[in-house]
Amino acid sequence: MAEQITVKDLVTALDTITGGRVIRPAGSPAGKNPFIVTKSSDIPGKAVTETPGLVVGDPDMPVKKLAVMMTLTESAIELAGASGVDAMVAHHPVADAANSGGVLLRTYLGLYNLAVLELHEAFHGLHPGIAYLHGHDASFVDIKYSNIPGNILFVGKTLEGVRTLGDMLARIEGFMDLNTEARLLESEKQIRNCADLVETAILTRGVILEGNPGKKASKVMHIFPHTGFTPVHMERAFHEHPGVDTVLATISRVFPGHELVAKARDLGLNFVCGNSHALEILENGLPLARAISILLPGLEVVIFKERMTGIPIDAFGGPDIQKYARKMAEEYLVK
């Protein structure tokens, strides 16, 4: 008979995966763990502290089924409760109410007997996958460039078969299986009879902002704009890593006219936007889930994948819910 797996075993597995970056033992005081980072935009009351490891749950609780996701939401909690999941590992930090539909985490998760663990900055820099998927080797990695936690910078030479910007975009389209996502979107448009429906993975496909598909790419400066990477950082990295010819922005992106694009142009660099944050479940979530399943082979592991669509107000839902919304708005909300 297989030995029972507990939440404590999950914590141990995450600690093994990260090389000791998780708070141990589970639920213990934080101490001086450098991966316990408070994020704040100085918006009163909105700061959140990352606590790698167990956030909510009993360390001794048995776990038969685990869900790995990017961000904990009320939809994820409901799916977990309905599908027999015992514990969830979220990549992004978890905050009371913000990640549980506006109610208290302990109350909501306790109702469904769910444990939640998180692993954000403590997971970054552990594997070269995002660089690999985009076609370079990430020989240089800094997860706090210019001493800013989370300000990640990769630099590396392009892999065999990736000679141009067009090669880079074709590579990620294939790995992300965007043709399947495109077919799914087209099917939904037909089912909903709404040609204006949009979806994140398709709308945020890779794009070249400086250069063209035939332009050579040999050494890549890989940045993540949402982490606080600035034109000053770009110029510094350009001089620190001679031979860079291409800036690659992933997870988040910028748009034409942004100062990072202008700086790349001034430095004579190509600028490519690769995968968006909506695809990190493939880049980071799937490797994490696979690592857990290897360490805990008796555990059933599933992936919770978000899919965000945009639908015009008049095409959202059926006739009955449209009547309901208009009635509530006109009779109660707009007086």
pLDDT at residue 28, rounded to an integer: 63
Residues of the chain with pLDDT > 90, as a percent, come to 92
Mean pLDDT of the region 79-99:
97
pLDDT in tens, 211-268: 999 999 999 999 999 999 999 999 999 999 999 999 999 999 999 999 999 999 999 9
Q: Return the minimum-mean-pLDDT range out of 21-35, 155-169, 270-284, 309-323.
A: 21-35
pLDDT of residue 132 exceeding 80, the answer is yes
pLDDT of residue 119 exceeding 80, the answer is yes
pLDDT of residue 30 exceeding 60, the answer is no
pLDDT at residue 335, rounded to an integer: 80
pLDDT in tens, 295-307: 999 999 999 999 9
In the predicted model, what is the mean pLDDT of the chain?
95
pLDDT at residue 96, rounded to an integer: 96
Question: SS in 3 state form for the chain?
Answer: CCCCCEHHHHHHHHHHHHCCCCCCCCCCCCCCCCCCCEECCCCCCCCEECCCEEEECCCCCECCEEEEECCCCHHHHHHHHHCCCCEEEECCCCCCCCCCCCCCHHHHHHHCCCEEEECCCCCCCCCCHHHHHHCECCCEEECCHHHCCCCCEEEEEECCCCCEHHHHHHHHHHHCCHHHHHHHHHHHHHHHCCCCCEEHHHHCCCEEEECCCCCECCEEEEECHHHCCCHHHHHHHHHHCCCCCEEEEEECCCCCCCHHHHHHHHCCCEEEEEEEHHHHHHHHHHHHHHHHHHHCCCCEEEECCCCCEECCHHHCCCHHHHHHHHHHHHHHHCC
pLDDT in tens, 141-181: 998 999 998 899 999 999 999 999 999 999 999 999 999 99
pLDDT of residue 60 exceeding 80, the answer is yes
Predicted confidence band at 32 (pLDDT cuts at 50, 70, 90)? confident
pLDDT in tens, 1-27: 468 999 999 999 999 999 999 998 766
Residues of the chain with pLDDT > 70, as a percent, come to 98
250 in Cβ contact with 274 (< 8 Å): yes
Domains and CATH numbers, the chain: 7-123 (3.40.1390.30), 129-278 (3.40.1390.30)
